[in-house]
Structure 1
Amino acid sequence: MRRIVTAALALSLGMASAADLRIYPSFTEVREPVRATGPTLTISLPEAAWAGLIPGTLDLDGLSFSSAVQRQEANWLASLEGKTVYVKKEDGTLEPVTLVRARDLLVRDAQGRYRTVRYEDLVFEVAPPLNPQTPSQALTFTLPQPGAGTLTYLTRAVTWSPRYTLKAGTGGAQLSALADIRNMADLPYDVKGTELYAGDVEVQGQPVPAPYMALRAEVTASSGAADAAAPKINALGELRGLYRYALSTPFTLPANSTVTLPFLTPKLTQFERYAGLNTYFTPQNTDGTLSRFYRLKADQRLPGGSLTVREEGRIVGQTQISETARGEEIEFSLGNDPDVRYTRAVQTVSSEKNDKGNVVRTTYKVTYTFENGKDRPVRAEVTERVGGRRITIDGVVRGQNPAAELRVDVPANGKATKTFTLVVDNS
């Protein structure tokens, strides 16, 4: 497998060494062991690695240096300038020519005539590397003394994210997760140690590229492309507010791929379905449909990611969940439920004015009528937020900008009514 860092000049990398990856949601820290046997250390990074590198993040850890120079090296094709290559002719025969200039593929034939050719028509005596026309970047470090260290840099090319599946049925619900590790570079990684971090970590550099645009293949733990002993993801606890995980064994992250591994299997300590409405108070009458809501709690911390909900094996919706602490409530909606409708009627009970004739205190009676068209009962929940300086709901002073909360069970193919009294005091 092609290595992410290759040996050049005074750099010596053993065949058994491999990169360590610390993968975050929007970037990765690559850590590659290096050893210098002299006063300089030269490292060549393929252009595919350089393209995703976050500027200003290259460093040597554990190995002091007095200066570092970065430059662009010629590509493989340039190394053949002045040498004989072959051009495939229309009749299939090969014509020996001299490669004069690799930049525009200028060649000279046996008669001394010059012309440019297409790369597809060139034939070589040795196998060319991947992307032979692409240059590489060379880094030369000047060292006070030889030694071993670790080359580190941050790249946008490798990211990860969890995705959850909530399977619900008449007997309850189960929550499971997969971890997608994405490599968006034309560069494979032979990974020795892997850590995954979940949380809000910001770094400088270019915006994060959209992951799905660069994916060309997906490798799952059960596919033939994956190792038979696929790594497991183990929790390592918390690090300054970040969730930390590690892969149990080394693995290969192919170029332009996604490696998917089983992640979490948390137990749900709470699970509820209901038809809900989140709205704001208005003195006008309203009506409409409620939405399909879910409410759950898990016994583990959950990194943010996408969530697919299946009911009786069928997908009923998708959403995103944010970073969630253990036991914290998760609530989300999957769209309207046309079978559960509401009618909201508002009655002005009283109104008080000040000496200037301005209304300063108003009492309202708000009545919700729910209608359930399903053949089973439905829990209906309404949260209606009220703006104002001093608010009283059902005789209880609630302070500023509170919410009225209604809960009612609506029978199958039936109706239910719920009422609350609201006093808005802006005096």
Structure 2
Amino acid sequence: DPLRAVDLNIHNSVTEIRQIQSGVGTYQSYFKNDEYANIIDGSISWDGTPFIKQELYNTIDGLKDALVIVRPSTPCKCTIIQAKIIDPETMLLYNLGTKGYFYADRGSIEYQSTRPNQGGTTLRFEFKKNDTTYTGTLSYLMRGITWLPNYDLFIKDANTCNLRAYANIRNNQQQEYQVDNTYLYSGDIQLANTYPTGIPVQALQAGIAIDITSSSSINFDGEQKGFYYYSLKDKYTLRPKSSIRLPFINVNLKCKFYYKTTTGISSGQYKGIFQRYYDLTSDQFLPAGILTIRDNQILMGQSNLPDVPTNYTQTVVLGQDNDVQYLIKGNVTASNKDTTTITWQTYELDMTIFNYKDKDVRGQLDFYGAFQTTINKTTCNSLKVDGTMINLPFQVTKNNNYHCRIIVTLKWG
């Protein structure tokens, strides 16, 4: 049976289940074995009418002392045995006729005085009086229900893009939940014990999109000490072993595409290929999730996006482009005279950046420098030293190349 009128507070790897309960007498709730195995120890809580005792017990123990009939599983002229269950776990029985003990196969047992079950765990609250009218909220933490944002980035040109955000909620349980309210939290909470979720990140990408409304019904509710939280007030059913995909926050995104790579400074001839870089700046916080990039309807790849603060520029690198390459010829023109330790060297670098595309490209070639890096002379445009790095921005027209020289001194001591 589904759990009805449930509120879900979902973090990345743990979820708080909350359900309002009311009634008269003793309150009982049943958990299947796989469901109870995912409940965090010590997390069951009751907020409401004071109770005098909370009890958890294995439901199969309720079969102890049950009267049964043992019938053969295959047709035969065997005697039917009347017995009593001694141990429900092992099915040790007591023969009421012979007064002896024996084990029986579960499939051969017919129950007379009680209904059989496959085991599980029962939660029981006792209140001060047997006829107490109680009301309260039952809550507990469990693994097996998780959420993860994913983002689809559509790029039209180098600086024009559109980001669509979705929330993927996955139920890895056998239990069905009829959800009233959902609260999603960025980041993760610290628990007394660390447990593996058992759900790979890739599994969270797939989902069934349910159309609650034509646009996002998930609202941003605020931030508390680094936790950003969101709410969904629409009701839905979270089926066993399933996932759903909902429109998430609406984001205005600025994007910039360029080519970039980093190399060292050495003597001899060496070459390399530039990588694709995407700079993304959002007008609001983006919880960590999976980013899929499509450039002019072509799938470029995926990346694991970390938590991205508001107005922070996050750089995503997606593979390399063989059409944009560099070639460097390096020579050592001077060095210190200490033969045991080299403390400084001067290099002359002859560089060519090749663009084999039929359109213009822009990017940056970076060099690893040293503790002290000095540009003595250069024909390169906009070259600058940034700490221990040398940055060379470039723009190369279609089917063309860019050539320049650098004389640089590196000091290590």
TM over 0.5: yes
> Which range is displaced more, 240-249 or 288-297?
288-297
How far apart are the structure 1 equivalents of 2:396 and 2:362? 6
Match of 1:173 in 2: 161
How far apart are the structure 2 equivalents of 1:219 and 1:36? 37
Match of 1:154 in 2: 141
| Residue of structure 2 aligned with 1:192, choices 157, 177, 180 | 180
Match of 1:12 in 2: none
How far apart are the structure 1 equivalents of 2:202 and 2:271? 46
Aligned-partner SS, 2:35 = helix
Correspondence 1:261 to 2:246: yes
Correspondence 1:364 to 2:341: no
Q: TM-score, normalised by structure 1?
A: 0.77
Q: Return the offset for 1:107.
A: 9.2
- Residue identity opposite 1:364 in structure 2: Y
Q: Return the offset for 1:420.
A: 4.0
Q: TM-score, normalised by structure 2?
A: 0.79
In the comparison of the two structures, how many residue pairs are matched?
399
Match of 1:2 in 2: 2
CA pair 67-423 structure 1, distance change in 2 beyond 3 A: farther
CA pair 174-88 structure 1, distance change in 2 beyond 3 A: farther
Aligned-partner SS, 1:264 = strand
Match of 2:6 in 1: 19
How far apart are the structure 1 equivalents of 2:111 and 2:375? 84
Q: Return the offset for 1:52.
A: 1.0
In 1, are the aligned partners of 2:18 and 2:139 still within 8 Å (CA)? Answer: yes
Q: Return the offset for 1:64.
A: 4.8
Match of 1:350 in 2: 334
In 1, are the aligned partners of 2:68 and 2:111 still within 8 Å (CA)? Answer: no
Q: Which runs of 5+ in 2 are unaligned?
A: 378-382
- Residue identity opposite 2:152 in structure 1: T
Matches within 5 A, 1:3-402: 3=3, 18-35=5-22, 37=24, 42-62=28-48, 64=50, 68-74=54-60, 78=63, 81-83=66-68, 101=85, 103=89, 116-117=104-105, 119=107, 132-140=117-125, 147-170=134-157, 172-212=160-200, 220-222=208-210, 232-272=217-257, 274-283=258-267, 285-353=269-337, 358-388=341-371, 390-393=372-375, 402=388
Q: Return the offset for 1:245.
A: 0.8
How far apart are the structure 1 equivalents of 2:66 and 2:172? 32
Aligned-partner SS, 1:263 = strand
How far apart are the structure 1 equivalents of 2:264 and 2:52? 64
Q: Which runs of 5+ in 1 are unaligned?
A: 4-16, 91-95
In 2, are the aligned partners of 1:378 and 1:410 still within 8 Å (CA)? Answer: yes
How far apart are the structure 2 equivalents of 1:422 and 1:68? 76
How far apart are the structure 1 equivalents of 2:354 and 2:201? 45
In 2, are the aligned partners of 1:303 and 1:322 still within 8 Å (CA)? Answer: yes
CA pair 169-205 structure 1, distance change in 2 beyond 3 A: same
How far apart are the structure 1 equivalents of 2:56 and 2:156? 59
Cα root mean square deviation, aligned: 4.2
CA pair 157-230 structure 1, distance change in 2 beyond 3 A: farther
CA pair 207-421 structure 1, distance change in 2 beyond 3 A: farther
CA pair 103-404 structure 1, distance change in 2 beyond 3 A: same
How far apart are the structure 2 equivalents of 1:164 and 1:268? 12
Match of 2:380 in 1: none
CA pair 254-87 structure 1, distance change in 2 beyond 3 A: farther
How far apart are the structure 2 equivalents of 1:97 and 1:288? 83
How far apart are the structure 2 equivalents of 1:284 and 1:19? 68
Percent identical: 25
In 2, are the aligned partners of 1:70 and 1:140 still within 8 Å (CA)? Answer: no
